[in-house]
Amino acid sequence: MTISIKMAKHSWPLAQPFRISRGVKTHADTIIVTITDNEVCGIGESVPYARYKETTETVQAQISSIGNAFANISDIHHAINELAAGAAKNALDCALWDFRAKKNNQSIASKLNIPLSSLTTAQTISLGTKDAMAIEAKRLAHAPLIKVKLDANSVIDKMKAIHLAAPDSKFIIDANEAWTFTLLKDVIKQLKDFNVALIEQPLPADSDNELEHFEPCIPVCADESCHTRQDLAQLKKRYQAINIKLDKTGGLSEALALLEEAKRQGFLIMTGCMVASSLAMAPAFLIAQQADFVDLDGPLLLRDDIEFGFEFTGTKMHQPTPFIWGQTLNQTGKIATL
């Protein structure tokens, strides 16, 4: 048996421009990996992220570096494990999980003994003017959880307007490292009055030592500061929650281990995503079954999702049958993307 690896870049047009503190994007560029033995086909998707000095070219080069033909599953598993955590390892790791599921005719959820249920995902408001963000909040006012992208400008004015537009919703603020510690201390008590339930990565990852000994009235969540289990010892002194993203952990394998260890240490768990299709969300959906906060609305930000992806009913997401990833052949048919 020869197991081969193929990959392709895919550019997903967004439904509308998506703004965060670091910039604006109109497309989501992803890498889709296929692992096949010409009988079954496993697939995985990842998002190269410039914040971590990744591009589609560097990620493809990392994938190519391990070779494209293997004699057995053990060899390919070993080669993937030699890669550093990141988008390349994520796409390969998730494709291998999918390949094994189909090869053994056992779903990944069943193998891991994770009962799957529909989940409520946060809906995201991208960074904009106060009025534009309030209009978007009013449109999403039915959502129990809304994620708000903010920079350091007009934090209280924007959140007051957003809260007035969606008074029954709870909010996650994602500053994407744009705040200072002084700003955080100045606004956090007022933000609690606006139903803010979590503040995600307010400070730059390389200066979050300022959070040590800080006792916030709203849990503070590590995103850019948290990649793998090795980060937890340092994070324990600074954060109350972590955001598990598979493009940071390097796939489902490390994400599962990070989840277990973080829960053992008492962290709140958020499951997040980059902007990508349902193929990238599928392994994260397994982690999200045990999360306190779920933010997997990436497919809703796309103009069109991948075929056989998640179904969304309002803020609820669930896996249909057939589904794109992690199922038996009976549940997927001969789905292939490359």
pLDDT digit string, tens, across residues 169-202: 999 999 999 999 999 999 999 999 999 999 999 9
**112 located within any domain:** no
Whether 134 and 31 map to the same domain: the answer is no
Whether 295 and 231 map to the same domain: the answer is yes
Domain boundary among 74, 107, 140: 107
Whether 21 and 96 map to the same domain: the answer is yes
Under a CB-based contact definition with an 8 Å cutoff, are residues 275 and 44 in contact? Answer: no
Whether 220 and 102 map to the same domain: the answer is no
**74 located within any domain:** yes
**335 located within any domain:** no
How high does pLDDT run on average in the chain?
95
- Taking only the tens of pLDDT, the chain with its 338 residues reads 799 999 999 999 999 988 887 788 899 999 999 999 999 999 999 999 999 999 999 999 999 999 999 999 999 999 999 999 999 999 999 999 999 999 999 999 999 999 999 999 999 999 999 999 999 999 999 999 999 999 999 999 999 999 999 999 999 999 999 999 999 999 999 999 999 999 999 999 999 999 999 999 999 999 999 999 999 999 999 999 999 999 999 999 999 999 999 999 999 999 999 999 999 999 999 999 999 999 999 999 999 999 999 999 989 999 999 999 999 887 765 555 55
Whether 264 and 148 map to the same domain: the answer is yes
User: Among 49, 23, 21, 293, which residue's Cα sits nearest to residue 183?
Assistant: 21
Q: Counting beta carbons within 10 angstroms of the beta carbon of residue 229, is it exposed (0 to 12), middle (13 to 18) or buried (19 or more)?
A: middle
Whether 75 and 159 map to the same domain: the answer is no
Euclidean distance between CA atoms 52 and 256, whole angstroms: 22
**284 located within any domain:** yes
Whole-Å CA distances, 241 to 86, 107, 232: 21, 30, 10
Tokens 């952990």, residue located: 249
**279 located within any domain:** yes
**CA 284, 286, 289, 293: dihedral to nearest 10 degrees?**
-10
For a pLDDT cut of 70, what percent of the chain falls above it? 98
**114 located within any domain:** no
Q: Which domain holds residue 48?
A: 3-107
Domain boundary among 107, 136, 165: 107
**314 located within any domain:** yes
Whether 313 and 192 map to the same domain: the answer is yes
**337 located within any domain:** no
The structural domain count of the chain equals 2
Whether 218 and 324 map to the same domain: the answer is yes
SS3 (DSSP) at 327: coil
Euclidean distance between CA atoms 87 and 112, whole angstroms: 23
Whole-Å CA distances, 200 to 39, 241, 253, 269: 43, 9, 24, 12
